């Protein structure tokens, strides 16, 4: 187990052949729950993305089994605006998931390339598809828990996809404990991206409103280039979100873009 964890942490998965099929070419980055690799599917001769759980999470008893179970559940989420999970496997005792490779980059890159902000016209090009994908996820009993610009992806034709369900939580598991048959993601406290997490995240109050808040902050960031609240810790976010001063700083000019979708993800 130690050797496997070291292999993940030092990036030595590069060059590995997973399941006799997926050749790891390079490490793309690391998120809240997983390392992300670019790979080639030798069977179909196309690029894919491989996600491997973070090394520290693998130390938790039952994590591997819950990861595989939850990714298997998420693979059933078939929607035009959700990045597909193609396969699930295990390499040297470590589970991994295979996803579509989307060559158009992410929303964070789009915002940066536009000079740091987008116009309302640009926002409504990608916002409705994301709302539809998120509404579908919620209708299937799942919350994403990490909606942010880095997880809004585009293919080479500009089609929009919601991605990175690495810390998604199946709502029917919320009452279970972190060990055994409990939820995958309640291990080691808060997970996610604090700038996009709602105040109730610190108390693990997980409902669709969690994702709706994160999407609203994503829209605010796209329009303004900043966050409505800028916490250094989740505790500070809770205090700031409940203060009159923080609410007063939110620019109401961000509202028209969100109201155009008609999606449940932006209904009060």
Of 102, 62, 101, 54, give the one whose Cα is nearest residue 184: 62
- Average pLDDT for 211-221: 96
Highest-confidence range of 50-54, 182-186, 234-238, by mean pLDDT?
50-54
| Active-site residue, 146 included | yes
Structure tokens at 242: 């409940």
Same CATH fold assignment for domains 11-100 and 107-266: no
Of 88, 91, 110, give the one whose Cα is nearest residue 154: 110
80-118 confidence digits (pLDDT tens): 999 989 999 988 888 899 999 999 999 999 999 999 999
Give, in degrees to the nearest 5, the angle at Cα 220 between 198 and 139.
55
Residue 266 in 3-state DSSP?
helix
Q: Which of 49-58, 83-92, 146-155, 161-170 shows the lowest mean pLDDT across its residues?
A: 161-170
Distant-in-sequence contacts of 205-210, Cβ < 8 A, 24+ apart: 206/143, 206/145, 206/169, 206/171, 206/174, 207/143, 207/171, 208/138, 208/143, 208/265, 210/143, 210/145
CA dist., res. 10 & res. 37, Å (int): 13
Tell me which of 146, 164, 173, 211 is the catalytic residue.
Answer: 146
Q: Which of 17-26, 67-76, 242-251 shows the lowest mean pLDDT across its residues?
A: 242-251
Name the CATH superfamily, with its identifier, for domain 11-100. Answer: Phosphorylase Kinase; domain 1 (3.30.200.20)
The pLDDT assigned to 210 comes to: 92
Residue 8's pLDDT band, with cuts at 50, 70 and 90, is very low
Residue 4's pLDDT band, with cuts at 50, 70 and 90, is very low
Residue 169's pLDDT band, with cuts at 50, 70 and 90, is low
Q: Are strands 152-154 and 160-162 parallel, antiparallel or unpaired?
A: antiparallel
Of 11, 46, 16, 59, give the one whose Cα is nearest residue 179: 59
Residue 261 in 3-state DSSP?
coil
> Does domain 107-266 match CATH 1.10.510.10?
yes
- Regarding predicted confidence, which is higher, 112 or 180? 112
CA dist., res. 259 & res. 238, Å (int): 25
Q: Where are the domains of the chain?
A: 11-100, 107-266
Q: Where are the alpha helices (DSSP H) in the chain?
A: 2-9, 63-74, 107-113, 120-139, 208-224, 234-241, 244-248, 255-259
Of 188, 206, 196, 200, give the one whose Cα is nearest residue 235: 200
The pLDDT assigned to 192 comes to: 66
């Amino acid at each position: 187990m130690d050797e496997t964890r070291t292999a993940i942490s030092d990036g030595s998965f590069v060059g590995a052949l997973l399941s006799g099929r997926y050749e790891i070419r390079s490490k793309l980055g690391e998120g809240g729950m997983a390392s992300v690799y670019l790979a080639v599917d030798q069977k179909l001769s196309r690029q894919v993305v491989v996600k491997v759980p973070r090394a520290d999470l693998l130390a938790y008893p039952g994590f591997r089994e819950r990861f595989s179970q939850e990714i298997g559940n998420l693979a059933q989420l078939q929607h035009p605006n959700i990045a597909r999970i193609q396969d699930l496997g295990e390499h040297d005792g470590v589970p991994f998931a295979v996803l579509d490779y989307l060559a158009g980059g992410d929303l964070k890159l789009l915002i940066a390339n536009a000079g740091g902000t987008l116009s309302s016209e640009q926002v409504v090009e990608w916002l409705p598809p994301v709302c539809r994908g998120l509404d579908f996820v919620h209708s299937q009993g799942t919350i994403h828990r990490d909606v942010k610009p880095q997880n809004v992806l585009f293919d080479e034709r500009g089609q929009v996809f919601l991605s990175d369900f690495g810390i998604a939580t199946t709502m029917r598991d919320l009452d279970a404990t972190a060990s055994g048959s409990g939820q995958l993601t309640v291990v080691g406290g808060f997970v996610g991206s604090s700038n996009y997490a709602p105040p109730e995240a610190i108390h693990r109050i997980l409902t669709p409103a969690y994702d709706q808040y994160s999407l609203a902050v994503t829209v605010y960031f796209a329009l303004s280039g900043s966050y409505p609240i800028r916490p250094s810790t989740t505790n500070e976010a809770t205090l700031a979100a409940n203060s009159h001063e923080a609410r007063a700083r939110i620019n109401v000019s961000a509202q028209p873009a969100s109201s155009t979708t008609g999606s449940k993800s932006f209904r009060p």
